[in-house]
Amino acid sequence: METNIQNLLNILVGGITIWILCAGALLCLLIDALWPRKMSVPVYTIGILTLIVTLCSAWYQWLQPDLPAAQDLLVIDLHTLFFITLVVLVGILTILNALGYMQLHNDLTAEFCSLIIFSIIGMVFFFSSDHLLINFIGLETMSLSIYVLVGSHKKNFKSNEAAIKYFIIGGVASAIFLYGVAMFYGAYGTLKISELAMALPTQGLDYLPKTAVAFILTGIFFKLAVVPFHFWAPDVYEGAPSPVTGFMATGVKIASFGFAIRIFIGINVLDMPQIQNLLVVVVVATFIVGNLLAIVQDDVKRMLAYSSVSHAGFVLFGMLAGFREGRYEPFSSHTVMFYLLGYLLMTLGAFAILSLMIRKRSEATHYTDLEGLGHSKPLLAGLFTLFMFSMVGMPGTVGFAAKYSVISLAVQNGHIGLAILAVVMSIVSAFYYLRPSVTMFFKKGAGGCPVIQEIPFTSSASITFCAFTVIYLGLNPDAFIKLAKIAAF
């Protein structure tokens, strides 16, 4: 019994960041239940405060010289703490965006805030556990909250369609993932990643674990929306409310990569040539399809959906670039982590601006809606252009530093062909990333009111933060690359 209490205490102290999140989410829910429809703004404030406290406690744990040893089901190491920082940052920016969005659309529901925090809790369990069972439960908590968030525009037909589509496809993906997990259990009788690593042979995997790896990869690829599994992305991203789209495009991908890095470095399956070939096929297909389809879109949100597909391909390319002569070097995952940080900032900045676009009480993100915005709101249009430049990878922005670190790693490790493809595709991407800016500045609007009329304070706070960090990290990436290097395995 004593050991049990000790165990519980360890879990409580070690996982304090997660328990703060849980308490905050429940508090938001409770306040909304006690004073319905009156306390929306305080609830959002509590949500943001919770996330900030989580960030501080993660930082405090980071500074602790010796972290608590790996607990039974929860591993709080530097890798986990780095990814917690990323997803909590996503959460803060999303809640700020959502507050602005909901003031404009005049439907402020407090559940939105607690669902975002619940989703972050799911993400944290998804990548912080050493046990595939907990990983799966985390994945489901994350996904279930997002299905609801996608459908939270109840009267909008597109939002309903997107929610159903995402729910069914995501359910199938989860089932495939779970099938892979079950195969691991069938082969080795354990679900702990550290025990699986001991049980797996170092050379040449058996058939059962090979199939298991393929199925788990399929589940992750669905969540990442890389190319053979990207079909749901544009419709769902278009139908979901803009802040939720930003949340999905960043948070889900960050959490999935956090999990992918943990499991694949943990059990060393990446060293199989088949897995490497599979990754090469997926990366090449994602680069080509994601970038070319983004060109033909007429809606900024759909364009950003395809752009997020191609960015996921870029991050996967970062994983692939870590192979030197057929072996993955765990240390090189720091490029992936830095890329994710940069991607998060520029994407959420762009979605903060998209969240403000409203016409006749509904979202207006078609290219024609942007016409003349450069004259009515020049500063905002300029910042949007900055985020787009960063996505292309213009020097001086974080996009450049991130892409540069991935490509230079690839060249060092001898993946020349893929590196050339990545550069070519970045140049192609300039075409569709600059189209919104050209529309904003060089096309006169057809009269009518401009698409952005008022800018709520919270939105301007998140836009300012993103713009500042995009430039700051672009000019001075070294400090943060160093942080990512410490956090890499």
Partner 1 sequence: MNPYFFYAFATITVLMVVLMILQKNPITGAMCLIVSFFSLAGLYVLLEAHFIAVLQILVYAGAIMVLFIFVIMFLNLKKEDLKTGRRPFYQFAALIASGALVTFLVVQYTKIPPVSFPESVAGFGTVEAIGSLMFSKYVIAFEVIGLLLLVGIIGAVLLGKKENHD
Q: Give 42's contacts (C-beta < 8 A, 6+ positions apart).
A: 31
Residues in region 395-454 near partner 1 by CB under 8 A? none
Minimum distance, C-beta of residue 72 to partner 1, in the bound complex (Å): 7
Amino acid at 124: V
Is the Cβ of residue 155 or residue 360 nearer to partner 1 in the bound state? 155
Is the Cβ of residue 47 or residue 122 nearer to partner 1 in the bound state? 122
Query: Which residues are paired to 363 by β-bridges?
Result: 358
Query: Which stretch, 40-48, 182-190, 390-398, 461-469, contacts partner 1 (CB under 8 A)?
Result: 182-190
Query: Which stretch, 4-12, 81-89, 398-406, 436-444, contacts partner 1 (CB under 8 A)?
Result: 4-12
Minimum distance, C-beta of residue 137 to partner 1, in the bound complex (Å): 5
Identified binder of partner 1 from the candidate list 87, 89, 115, 418, rule CB under 8 A: 115
Identified binder of partner 1 from the candidate list 10, 103, 109, 268, rule CB under 8 A: 109
Minimum distance, C-beta of residue 114 to partner 1, in the bound complex (Å): 7
Using the structure block, give the residue that is written with the tokens 């006690």.
34
Is the Cβ of residue 155 or residue 444 nearer to partner 1 in the bound state? 155
CA 400 – CA 342 distance, rounded (Å):
9
Residues in region 122-181 near partner 1 by CB under 8 A? 122, 125, 131, 133-134, 137-138, 140-141, 144-145, 147-148, 151-152, 154-155, 163
Contact flag: residue 326 with partner 1 (CB under 8 A): no
Minimum distance, C-beta of residue 263 to partner 1, in the bound complex (Å): 17
Which is it for strands 323-324 and 358-359: parallel, antiparallel or unpaired?
A: unpaired
Contact flag: residue 108 with partner 1 (CB under 8 A): no
Minimum distance, C-beta of residue 154 to partner 1, in the bound complex (Å): 7
Structure tokens, 344: 């998060």
CA 154 – CA 47 distance, rounded (Å):
23
Minimum distance, C-beta of residue 237 to partner 1, in the bound complex (Å): 19
Is the Cβ of residue 170 or residue 322 nearer to partner 1 in the bound state? 170
Query: Which residues are paired to 405 by β-bridges?
Result: none
CA 223 – CA 214 distance, rounded (Å):
15
Residue 49 contacts residue 28 (beta carbons within 8 Å): no
Minimum distance, C-beta of residue 247 to partner 1, in the bound complex (Å): 15
Contact flag: residue 207 with partner 1 (CB under 8 A): yes
Minimum distance, C-beta of residue 149 to partner 1, in the bound complex (Å): 9
Q: Tally Cβ neighbours within 10 Å of residue 443.
A: 16
Minimum distance, C-beta of residue 125 to partner 1, in the bound complex (Å): 6
Query: Which stretch, 113-121, 230-238, 239-247, 409-417, contacts partner 1 (CB under 8 A)?
Result: 113-121
Identified binder of partner 1 from the candidate list 121, 340, 346, 380, rule CB under 8 A: 121
Minimum distance, C-beta of residue 145 to partner 1, in the bound complex (Å): 5
Identified binder of partner 1 from the candidate list 23, 41, 186, 379, rule CB under 8 A: 186
Distances (CA, A) of 158 to 18, 104, 279, 305, 353: 34, 19, 33, 15, 21
Minimum distance, C-beta of residue 134 to partner 1, in the bound complex (Å): 6
User: Measured between alpha carbons, how far apart are the two ends of the chain, in Å?
Assistant: 35
Is the Cβ of residue 210 or residue 366 nearer to partner 1 in the bound state? 210
Is the Cβ of residue 150 or residue 409 nearer to partner 1 in the bound state? 150
Is the Cβ of residue 28 or residue 402 nearer to partner 1 in the bound state? 28
CA 128 – CA 121 distance, rounded (Å):
10
Is the Cβ of residue 208 or residue 438 nearer to partner 1 in the bound state? 208
Residues in region 46-75 near partner 1 by CB under 8 A? 72-74
Identified binder of partner 1 from the candidate list 189, 378, 414, 417, rule CB under 8 A: 189
Is the Cβ of residue 121 or residue 236 nearer to partner 1 in the bound state? 121
Contact flag: residue 22 with partner 1 (CB under 8 A): yes
User: For the window 211-250, what string marks contact with partner 1 as x by the rule CB under 8 A?
Assistant: x---------------------------------------
Interacting residues toward partner 1 by CB under 8 A: 4, 7-8, 11, 22, 29, 72-74, 109, 111, 114-115, 118, 121-122, 125, 131, 133-134, 137-138, 140-141, 144-145, 147-148, 151-152, 154-155, 163, 186-187, 189, 206-208, 210-211
